[in-house]
Every structure is written in C-alpha cells, then in structure tokens.
C-alpha cells in the first residue's frame, strides 16, 4: 500500500479509522473507565494512553507499512503521527473517564438532583 501522508493519517484513512479510532478508541475508552472506577488520577490515564499509543503505532507499522520509531530516519515522522494518535486516543480516554465519573457521582450523591434528573443549582 502506498502511503498518502496526509495531515492526520499516514497510510490511508481506512487504516487510521480502523486502528486508531475504532480499535484504539474502544481500548482508550476502557482505560478512562478503569481509571475512573479505581479512583486513580489523570496521570495514570495519560500513562496508559501513552502505552496504547505506542501499541497503535506498532500496528500501523507492522500491518500497514507505516513508520515506527526505529530506524532513526523515520523517527520524526513516527513521532508526528504518534502525537496525533495520542490526542485522538486521549480524547476517548477522557470521554470514558468523565462518563464513568459522572455516573459514580450521581449514584453517590443522588440527593443533588431533582426528580427529573436535572442538577440542583
């Protein structure tokens, strides 16, 4: 497959959507959910998302002929697309964390809501 090297994806939009958005997004959502359920901080969420980003870059490299951090000639390109992958994956992780944390807090402090579920001001 010939790389396109677009602004957001390296090889093709299809592989970006499959690897980063669908598979990586689902895993990142679960990262956010698990760190919220265990009441861990944002630092652990960032660390786990960074590890997932490295795994996603490896899948781009091994399955779709993308770049990886070695050899050093391709490290700059790989770092650019790794930052994009990290931002996308962290957005999913933050979404999973916020949704789970909102459910936790509304269950714990249900008296702060009206009978229709709207927050009390």
Structure confidence at residue 113 as a pLDDT band (50, 70, 90): low
Q: What is the pTM of this model?
A: 0.83
Residue 5: inside a domain, yes or no?
A: no
The string of DSSP codes covering 2-29 is: -----SS-SS-HHHIIIIIIIIIHHHHH
Give pLDDT tens digits for 64-82.
888 888 888 888 888 999 9
**CA separation for the pair 16, 61 (Å, rounded):** 12
Structure confidence at residue 115 as a pLDDT band (50, 70, 90): low
Residue 119: inside a domain, yes or no?
A: no
Region 79-103: what's the mean pLDDT? 94
Residue 8: inside a domain, yes or no?
A: no
Q: Strand, coil or helix: what is 90?
A: helix
Residue 3: inside a domain, yes or no?
A: no
Print the domain residue range for 46.
13-112
121 or 31: which leads in pLDDT: 31
Residue 59: inside a domain, yes or no?
A: yes
Q: Strand, coil or helix: what is 66?
A: coil
**CA separation for the pair 95, 24 (Å, rounded):** 13
Residue 121: inside a domain, yes or no?
A: no
Residue 4: inside a domain, yes or no?
A: no
Residue 1: inside a domain, yes or no?
A: no
């Amino acid at each position: 497959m010939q790389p396109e090297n677009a602004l957001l994806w390296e090889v093709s939009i299809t592989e970006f959507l499959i690897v980063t958005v669908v598979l990586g997004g689902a895993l990142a959502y679960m990262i956010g959910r698990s760190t919220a359920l265990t009441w861990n901080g944002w630092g652990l969420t960032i660390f786990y998302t960074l590890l997932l980003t490295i795994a996603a870059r490896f899948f781009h490299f091994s399955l779709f002929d993308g770049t990886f951090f070695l050899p050093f000639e391709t490290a700059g390109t790989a770092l650019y697309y790794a930052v994009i992958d990290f931002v996308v994956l962290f957005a999913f992780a933050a979404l999973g964390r916020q949704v789970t944390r909102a459910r936790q807090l509304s269950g714990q402090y249900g008296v702060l809501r009206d009978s229709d579920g709207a927050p009390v001001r």
